Structure 1
Amino acid sequence: MSDRNTPRSHAKPACRATLSRRTLRWYQPVLVVAIATFGVLAYAQDTAAPRTATTTTAAIASANALATEAGFETLAQGGNAVDAAIAVATSLSVVQPEASGLGGGFLALIHDAATGKDTFIDAREMAPQAVREADYRKADGTPNRDTSLHGPLAAGIPGMPAGLAYMAGKYGKVPLAVSLRPAIRLADKGFHPSSPLVRSIGREAEVLRRYPASAGKFFPGGKAPQTTDIFRDPGQAATLKAIAERGADGFYKGAVAKELVRAVKASGGTWTLADLASYQAKERSPIELTYAGYKIVTAPPPSSGGVALAEMLNILAPIDLKSMDEAHRIHYLVEAMRRAFRDHNEYLGDPDFVKMPLDMLLSPYYADGLRQSILPEQATKSAWLPSVHAKDPGMHTTHYSIIDKDGNMVSMTATVNTTLGSGFVAGKTGVLLNNEMDDFALVSGQPNAFGLIGGSANAPVGGKRMLSSMTPSFVIGKDRLAVIGSPGGSTIITQVFEGILAFIDGKNAGEITAQKRIHHQFMPDRVDIESGSDIPADVLAKLKAMGYEINDKDSWGNMNVVVWDKTTNVKSAASDPRNPNGLGKVETIH
């Protein structure tokens, strides 16, 4: 981590965190960033553009060109950022099923420019009422990774359809049917599958072929699709049409719901029609904090990300990182991560089921104590930190960031958990189900697919929502703001943490997504450093001498960031360059 990529910190009093209250063109599916200009005068370098006093811009950063175009199509039809997010989400369900979809869930932050209100939409999956811990344990008591990751037992009740319908009804400008048109067209007419989707199908072929509907969807004609093929999804098209016509009831009640339950039960799952009918998206108050003069709005539980993010920033607030050598800067970043993830494991869960000490965890005074436990010249071993196990009181994901012409903003992270979720397509619905049950602490004290360990606060209970690492966030300064988020399982939290620090340090959207990453999550007790990092050998040697186990790890994450410079009214968007299909694009819409 060179000086160029070192976050800025200011010697200030500890920050305080509080709980406050859319013509589609066809592209090969690639990672995409796009900016649309309504009016003109968007970019000084565009000297040929006519100039008006009413120029405004909209920006979308998502993981697929087709989804981004769906968002712009919806904006052009009168929609706002929320409607565009719905179009992006449902299009990704069709073209990027390895990462998210109707059979999964999402967490989203929404900023309403007219009122200045920030709100959080919780469309996280929930456990069916008949959930049994025994279904996820082997005879010897150890976790059964197959039932927690594959097939219908791995799937929680999906939240995406309900969440999208809720957003459209309360915060959108156009009917849900308008926002869903691009996705329905993609599913009906087909598209060229992206290289990541083709690779994912190949990697998960054994699991997918277990289930007839999965094999039928992902191996049309018995063969895996190639990038030159046209991939169609008639089952999901029919489900999308039902949602377009009936809203959430088109999924959770009626013919689609009956087919979902029939398919799940026929393969050993426990879903009931009552489970589906009882699902509701929930609107919650985001977490707000200030750091270095910036307001940060982020995700509350059942996301663990916002609490952990606030803890890390509270710990670092009075520390002058800029005055430190690189080894010590990394040292303090890692120690803040370590302590936040310890509390993640101990305390956090579904706020409707678990009483969490949020006042304590978000307090700068609590952070003062955590900071005092950091040894300035030595790594803190995770085993040294006390275990407080509070009494009873998610790697494949996608993210999109959107700002529309009026300044409405959406930061939305959606997931089916691991690549292609459970691998189980629910019969004729075409819906690929998530494997989010693995995000519960199915066996207390044992790690999930991402190495995260939990206790009773995140134990599975019927109707309960599993803890998430998704951390959609806004960073708002006097002259600049950013919409930020990323997939990446447990690394989401540290990616957003490092991205926010980089933004505050003055980095632009491209620099934020490109910077090399480090990660620590309490257990395993090691520092993951991204392969190809520019951290000098002598710095790595010093960290090892301080007691750190350094693990060179392949690149992770797929960050999407939009930055708005209000002094120039220029919005810029960037997608993670780690994706070889990455593409930046500027588009003018009149």
Structure 2
Amino acid sequence: MIRSLRPLFLALALAAVALPAGAAERATRQAAISSAHKLATDAGFEVLAKGGNAFDAAVAVSAALSVVEPQSSGIGGGAFFLLHRASDGRQVMVDARETAPAATDAKQYLDAKGDLDRDKSVNGPLAAGIPGEPAALVWVAEHYGKLKLSQSLAPAIRLAREGFAPDARSLGRLASRKDVLARYPGSAALFLPGGEVPKAGWVLKNPDLARTLELIASKGHAGFYEGEYAKKLVDGVKAAGGTWSLADLSGYKVKEREPIAFDYRGHRIVTAPPPSSGGIALAEMFNILQGYDLKKLGRVERTHLVVEAMRRAYRDRAEYLGDPDYVKMPVAELTSPLYAAGLRASIHPKKATKSDDLPGYMAPEQGTDTTHFSIVDADGNLAAVTQTVNLPYGAAFVVPGTGFVLNNEMDDFALKAGAPNAYGLVGADANAPKPGRRPLSSMTPTFVVGADRTLVIGTPGGSRIITMVLEGILAWFDGDAPDKLVANKRFHHQFLPDVISIEQDAFTRDERKALEAMGHVLSDGERPWGFMNAVDWNRATGQMRGGADPRGDSGKADVREIGR
């Protein structure tokens, strides 16, 4: 059990990953991009071909996904941009998480009985935090890119204006949110032609979004967060029952944060810090697993230990983590190998721990429709970017004339202690909603660097993001190529509820029985989850490989030659 909760926010003084000198020059001038949509991957390569770097490509892919994957992300949401700059080894996470409006009051989300009103927390403008993605596009372009912002946004603007045919996944999510989308004229006009869910082959043209992106391209941060456009947003939100103000928008700023970094069996893992819970949880899980030789264990024994590591990391997530600008967190302790050793000692090798038996939990209180992309350019720059509007189509609310849905990230706060959110996650006061705070996130963009190999990885999946990234990295250590590791069957444990969620056929019948005999409860028959995108780079040979999750029907991973 953690005995000290000293205010050691991000106290790990961790060295940046230094790639071997000349490694990029030994490459064959290749670049790799893997994203959830082929049009977004193509947008990234279009910008690279113009002379842009991985960071310009990240802006292009991010904006293109805002157009072609409105169910998963967009400029009405937020993002984490994890960046590695090859020229000087600088590593940074650009935190563009949404913030709570100044008028936020947790009581707004309760019903007459004092219970959490789920409709208010996930639907409509009251569910929306102040978007951060537009600010991130501007910041990354200005501070890390080589091209003008207008060049990097050009593919997305073209896609929005000319249109594209949404895929089956997008239309399916649209059907699931039809009733809420139909409540709001701006949403219905954009996504429900004739009041109905469109059929396959429908072309979505979005001139309003094209104009919004053009405004950002020409005026930068002020084009979205200030002036007439900001007034349009605030007026539209307030007219529908929200509480945004002009000061909320004008006061929004991205934050540059030091990544979480740690070592595991000869590899350096660099990942997202708070307000992501992913990096700390990954460090805690890998530190626990460091004490076992997983490759020598059978599938059942290995799964048992991985689940027990998951259980303990998610327990600490619930109690300690929140917005680092407002909450003092025991980061050094949580990521310490000594703390992990104590947790490891509490794991029975043949018996499941009951979550209720873990000490110190406060018994208090995040989707499948986030998106992630991974980029390595020909110079060795890396970008791992996870962005979201939270649930499918976010709050399902479009301010007329803007062309994008607002997020429903207010649900990622612990709006009521003890009440799970849409993903079944609970949280404590550290993640309570307060004006200006950023809600805790599971988004976990990650780099893994070994002696001669580099992996860039991440995924959507709500509360399951962190465990998917863990399993993907472990599979890469075992030798799986990106296209294999993104396709592997998955399992997940998040402390509460005390069950192992499993994809269909993730375990054999005998493996299931053996896990159940240890005391584990398995929840099977669930639909597949996540949409992982990964690329790796053999720095010794210059070879790059990509993998786009086959669970999506429009993902694309590609490796192309890039001219000097």
Q: Same fold (TM over 0.5)?
A: yes
Pairing of 1:296-375 with structure 2 (within 5 A): 296-375=269-348
Give the C-alpha shift of residue 431 in structure 1.
2.4
Residues 126 and 156 in structure 1, CA contact (< 8 A), matched pair in contact too? yes
Larger displacement relative to structure 2 (203-212 or 229-238)? 229-238
Contact 1:303 1:468 in 2 (8 A): yes
Q: 2:238 aligns to what SS in structure 1?
A: helix
Moved more, 453-462 or 382-391: 382-391
Indicate conservation of the 8 Å contact 1:19/1:286, yes or no.
no
Q: Percent same amino acid at aligned positions? A: 53
Q: Is the 8 A contact 1:193 1:225 kept in 2?
A: no
Q: Does 1:218 align with 2:213?
A: no
Cα deviations by residue, 1:376-416 (Å, 9 ceiling, x for unpaired): 2210000001234499xx40100000011111010000000
> Equivalent residue for 1:522?
495
| 1:536 lines up with 2:508 in the alignment | yes
Q: How far did 1:254 drift?
A: 1.1
Q: Distance in 2 between matches of 1:64 and 1:322?
A: 34
Change (3 A) 1:19 1:191: farther
C-alpha distance in 2 between matches for 1:89 and 1:563? 20
2:84 corresponds to 1:90: no
Distance 2:308 2:555 in 1: 33
From the superposition, tell whether residues 342 and 408 of structure 1 become closer, same or farther in structure 2 (CA, over 3 Å). Answer: same
- Closer, same or farther in 2 for the Cα pair 1:427/1:186, shift >3 Å? same
For normalisation by structure 1, the TM-score amounts to: 0.89
Secondary structure of the 2:394 match is coil
Which residue, out of 265, 276, 288, partners 2:238? 265
* CA distance in 2 between partners of 1:390 and 1:162 (Å): 36
> What residue is the counterpart of 1:428 in the other structure?
401
Shift of 1:588: 4.9
What is residue 18 of structure 1 aligned with on the other side?
Answer: 12
Q: Once superposed, what is the RMSD of the aligned Cα atoms?
A: 1.8
In the alignment, structure 1 residue 485 sits paired with structure 2 residue 458: yes
Match of 2:99 in 1: 126
Task: Give, in angstroms, the shift of residue 269 of structure 1.
Answer: 0.3
Q: Does 1:237 align with 2:231?
A: no
Unaligned residue ranges in structure 1 (runs of 5+):
1-16, 22-41, 43-51
Q: Indicate yes or no: 2:543 matched with 1:549.
A: no
TM-score, normalised with respect to structure 2:
0.94
- Unaligned ranges ≥5, structure 2: 1-10, 16-23
Partner of 2:42: 69
Amino acid corresponding to residue 419 of structure 1 in structure 2: P
The question of whether the paired residues in 2 share the 8 Å contact of 1:19 and 1:285 is answered with no
Determine the C-alpha separation between the residues in 2 that align with 1:280 and 1:389: 32
Query: Is 2:376–2:535's contact at 8 Å kept on the other side of the alignment?
Result: yes
1:475 aligns with 448
Provide closer, same or farther for how the CA distance between residues 313 and 585 of structure 1 changes in structure 2, counting only shifts above 3 A: closer
Q: Residues 455 and 256 of structure 1: is their aligned pair in 2 closer, same or farther, counting only changes over 3 Å?
A: same
Residues 582 and 168 (structure 1), Cα distance of their counterparts in 2 relative to 1, 3 Å cut:
closer
Q: Is the 8 A contact 1:99 1:417 kept in 2?
A: yes
Answer yes or no: is the 8 Å Cα contact 1:291–1:317 preserved in 2: yes
Residue identity matched to 1:547: G
Contact 2:27 2:541 in 1 (8 A): no
Moved more, 214-223 or 148-157: 214-223
1:414-450 Cα offsets, whole Å, 9 max, x none, are 0000100000001211221000000000011110000
CA-to-aligned-CA distance 1:447-503 (integer Å, 9 cap, x gap): 000010001000000000000000000000011110000000010000001111111
Per-residue deviation at 1:545? 1.0
Aligned counterparts of 2:27 and 2:82: Cα–Cα separation in 1: 27
Aligned length: 543
1:574-589 paired onto structure 2 within 5 Å: 574-583=547-556, 585=558, 587-588=560-561
Q: 1:47 maps to which residue?
A: none
Task: Say which SS state the counterpart of residue 486 (structure 2) adopts.
Answer: helix
Matched residues in 2 for 1:478 and 1:141: separation?
55
In the alignment, the residues of structure 1 paired with residue 401 and residue 174 of structure 2 have an alpha-carbon distance, to the nearest angstrom, of: 19
- In structure 1, the residue matched to 2:21 is none
Tell me by how many angstroms 1:223 deviates: 4.1
Cα deviation for residue 251 of structure 1 reads 0.4
* 3-state SS of 2:142 partner: helix
Partner of 1:25: none
Listed as ranges, the matches of 1:242-257 within 5 Å are 242-257=215-230
Structure 1 contact 18–289 (Cα < 8 Å) conserved: no
